[in-house]
Amino acid sequence: MNIGREVNRYRMSRWVGWRAMAGLLLCMAGCNGVKNQQSGSILVVVIVDSTASATREKESWQSQFEKLLQAYLPDDAQIAFVRCDHHPEFIKHFKVEGTKEAREKIMKAFNEAWTPRPCGKDSQGNNQFCGTDVMGALEIAVTFATKPENSGFERKMIIGWTDLQADPCNVKGRTKAFRQPLRYKWDNERTKNIDIILHGVPLSLHEPLRQQWGAAFKELSLYAPGEAVDIEKHYKLQPEAEGL
């Protein structure tokens, strides 16, 4: 029996075992942590409904959003935008920061989100604008707010500038229907720590929505078309500064 060979084999097996254990521990440490975790006092996800039925109060809402951005959101806040139309999408997110330039970029992105996008062309080749997948937009907003990377925010708020009307899309003789809000059931475990505030929702939907969605969110607030935005009352925020 070659004793030297057996000793070397034993040492090698121990070395491989320790390497495997070290790799496992590193993997566990990485899996238990969250890469690029964000934190701050508040995360605001803004849904912009750029469809014709929801933009009647666009100028008023733009003015109120600018006031919210300039005077009520702290420097460590983050804000994200979701477009609501026939094909809702996540646009971009920003750290608010304490500079005029940073907030101007956010305001620019918000204003651009109101530009309607065509869903197709009519028989004459003209751009056609129709269809509103409101539930798709809300799902995108909730998904972003509940990402593990965003678990470090003290407060999460979704603000929707939408009439919450799931208008169908009619292109080239085909009708695409979208899910109706009153038939949608949220996963309460995902949404229970989110405040959701929706502006422009018809009064006829308020009570049914409260019954259907009220228990799913930390707080559900609905405001009718024409109802003035009161930042301190509706969002429970106090001024951070007189403006930048």
- The mean pLDDT of 164-180, rounded to a whole number, is 89
Q: 10 Å Cβ neighbour count for 144? A: 19
Q: Which residues pair with 48 in a beta bridge?
A: 83, 161
Cβ proximity of 63 and 27 under 8 Å: no
Identify the pLDDT of residue 198.
96
- The mean pLDDT of 222-239, rounded to a whole number, is 93
Lowest mean pLDDT among 31-35, 209-213, 240-244: 31-35
The domain locations on the chain are 1-33, 39-234
**85 DSSP 8-state letter:** S
- The mean pLDDT of 10-30, rounded to a whole number, is 44
Identify the pLDDT of residue 4.
52
Check residues 28 and 186 and name the one with the higher pLDDT. Answer: 186
At residue 15, φ and ψ (nearest 5 deg) are -65, -45
Lowest mean pLDDT among 38-47, 223-232, 233-242: 233-242
Give the pLDDT confidence of 101-135 residue by residue, as tens digits. 899 999 999 999 998 899 888 878 888 888 999 99
Cβ proximity of 222 and 196 under 8 Å: no
Q: Taking 80 as the threshold, does the pLDDT of residue 88 lie above it?
A: yes
Lowest mean pLDDT among 12-16, 80-84, 203-207: 12-16
| CATH match of 39-234 with 3.40.50.410 | yes
List the one residue out of 153, 146, 151 whose CA is nearest residue 34: 151
pLDDT band at 18 (very low <50, low <70, confident <90, very high): very low
